[in-house]
A and B are shown apart, each in its own frame.
Chain A
Amino acid sequence: MRDGMPRWSVLLAALCAGTVPAAEPAPAPSRQAELLHLLRHDCGSCHGLTLRGGLGPPLLPQTLARKDLATLHATVLYGVPGTAMPPWNELLSAREIEWLVGQLKHGIAP
């Protein structure tokens, strides 16, 4: 039952996820292109192609400004129980998610 998990589990997960091994290299350029495609089109099915929001909240740099990287990383990695946000750890590696979250924080070209 996914809904059974209380929300603080996300915060706990955030604390753990803060320890992504920094030694891992960034995704290869070809993989980066795939990840950006996924971000636009698959994340975009809920967050909007331009990331201005939809069923899910907007993912623009200004709307994410007050959220730290570790929290965002954990949100993507484990999802948010009780909402439509699924855990992406089955499809993406922790390093890939870290890279994507960095892109979101920074803002990707439209």
Chain B
Amino acid sequence: MTARLLLVAIWLAVCAFEAFALEPRGTGDLAIVIERAQGAVAICETTARTQLARVTGFGDLSHASAVFSRDGRYAYIFGRDGALTKLDLLTHAIVKRVLQAGNSIGGAISSDGALVAVANYVPGGVKVFDAATLDVVADVPSTAGADGVRAKVVGLEDGFGRRFMWSEFENGRVRMLDLAAADTPRVSELGYAGRQPYDALVTPDGRDYIAGLFGEDGLVRVDLWAREPTVARFLAGYGGSELRLPVYKMPHLEGWSAAGEQLFLPAVGHHAVLVVDRRDWREIGRIATHGQPVFAVARPDGRQVWVNFAPPDNDIVQVIDVPSRTVIAEFSPGKAVLHIEFTPRGEQAWVSARDSDRVVVYDSASFARLAELAIDKPSGIFMSARAARLGF
């Protein structure tokens, strides 16, 4: 018995020593990787490309995503089960966790870092939390249908200032919450997007909110610089008479990419990426791809766009060269590629392969494999540099 106590005491001392012996470090090169099946998060760094820690206790992390505090220290992780969890990237500890809904899909953080908003499916709506305490600041239900069920909220994004925009899947509405005055939240209707908006993004300059439609061919944009922002349709009927294929995984728009004045967008149900000129919102090109695109992520310098695909074509990543708009490389990182994330300046691309239980790191210039990290069922990869980007 005393021997056991002694062992515990030694173990505690070792833990304490480790905690104090941690070198001070910055957070600019950190990344978190979601272990979707284990409800765990791997904390990695992109300088030596290693895993620093693994933190458990996040609940159901299937389809989880994250945003970061403006100092890059904390990650706010949105779980499928409606949990919002604040993770300290330096101490590797969960700071706080609230179960704020029954089923949720993602979130956003305000430019000032003070507010974290969550998009909820059940019950449908947007809840906003104080980023420091995770206390509720605002609660905006989505619009209920004839059956009395509130619509699922998708494509929740942050706008400049303390604004959040979202779309409602069942009724096609686009709405905005302005919390410039926190005690008087102002909700405005931005218009009808079309049938079944499924996700959205904000362009890197913060000017345009773009929502994609699942129920019809087309997208909408909202010019957030306008005095009274409102939806405007573009790329209507992009599929033409071509038969739409079954969609086994919804595309994701966040991270879909602007490279200069060109936007790269998914053609839902087609093996193609659409290229749009942001100056007049017309299609200027269409790139045939290996499968139906899920993510297409522009390297931060805009020179390349990396694309992954829906099942059954999800073992491949393709690289599009932006100037020539052609596919210049193709890799097999593993089975079921779910996500791609670039380091802040784009020299590395991190790719998660769920069914191969690994994250593969590529050199984005030579396409050499730089590292492989063994991580259980990895899905989303989120780099702390997102802290400084609008719409991330």
Q: Are the C-beta atoms of B60 and A45 separated by less than 8 Å?
A: no
Q: Are the C-beta atoms of A54 and B80 separated by less than 8 Å?
A: yes
Q: Are the C-beta atoms of A54 and B103 separated by less than 8 Å?
A: yes
Interface residues on B, range: 20 to 34
Interface of A is mostly: loop
Q: Are the C-beta atoms of A84 and B62 separated by less than 8 Å?
A: no
Q: Are the C-beta atoms of B63 and A84 separated by less than 8 Å?
A: no
Of the candidates B62, B246, B355, B377, which one forms a contact with A79 in the assembled complex, judged by CB atoms under 8 Å apart? Answer: B246
Of the candidates A3, A50, A79, A87, which one forms a contact with B60 in the assembled complex, judged by CB atoms under 8 Å apart? Answer: A50
B311 adjacent to chain A (CB < 8 Å): yes
Of the candidates B60, B121, B336, which one forms a contact with A41 in the assembled complex, judged by CB atoms under 8 Å apart? Answer: B336
**Which residue on chain A has the smallest CB distance to residue B122?**
A53
Beyond A86-B246, A91-B248, whether A3 also contacts B62 by CB under 8 A is no
Q: Are the C-beta atoms of A49 and B248 separated by less than 8 Å?
A: no
Contact with A along B191-225 (1 / 0, CB 8 A): 00000101000000000000000111000000000
Number of A-B contacts (CB under 8 A): 73
Of the candidates B62, B152, B248, which one forms a contact with A48 in the assembled complex, judged by CB atoms under 8 Å apart? Answer: B62
A60 adjacent to chain B (CB < 8 Å): no
A65 adjacent to chain B (CB < 8 Å): no
Cβ contacts under 8 Å, A40 to chain B: 37
Beyond A42-B249, A54-B105, A90-B246, whether A49 also contacts B37 by CB under 8 A is yes
Cβ contacts under 8 Å, B105 to chain A: 54-55
Cβ contacts under 8 Å, B63 to chain A: 45, 48-49, 54
Q: Are the C-beta atoms of A87 and B247 separated by less than 8 Å?
A: no
B81 adjacent to chain A (CB < 8 Å): yes
**Which residue on chain B has the smallest CB distance to residue A44?**
B62
Q: Are the C-beta atoms of A45 and B62 separated by less than 8 Å?
A: yes
B169 adjacent to chain A (CB < 8 Å): yes
Contact with B along A61-101 (1 / 0, CB 8 A): 00000000000000000010010101110110000000000
Cβ contacts under 8 Å, A88 to chain B: 246
B145 adjacent to chain A (CB < 8 Å): no
Cβ contacts under 8 Å, A84 to chain B: 196, 198, 214, 247, 250
Q: Which 10 A-B residue pairings sit nearest by Cβ, starting from the closest?
A: A49-B62, A86-B246, A87-B246, A42-B311, A86-B247, A44-B62, A86-B248, A50-B60, A45-B249, A48-B80
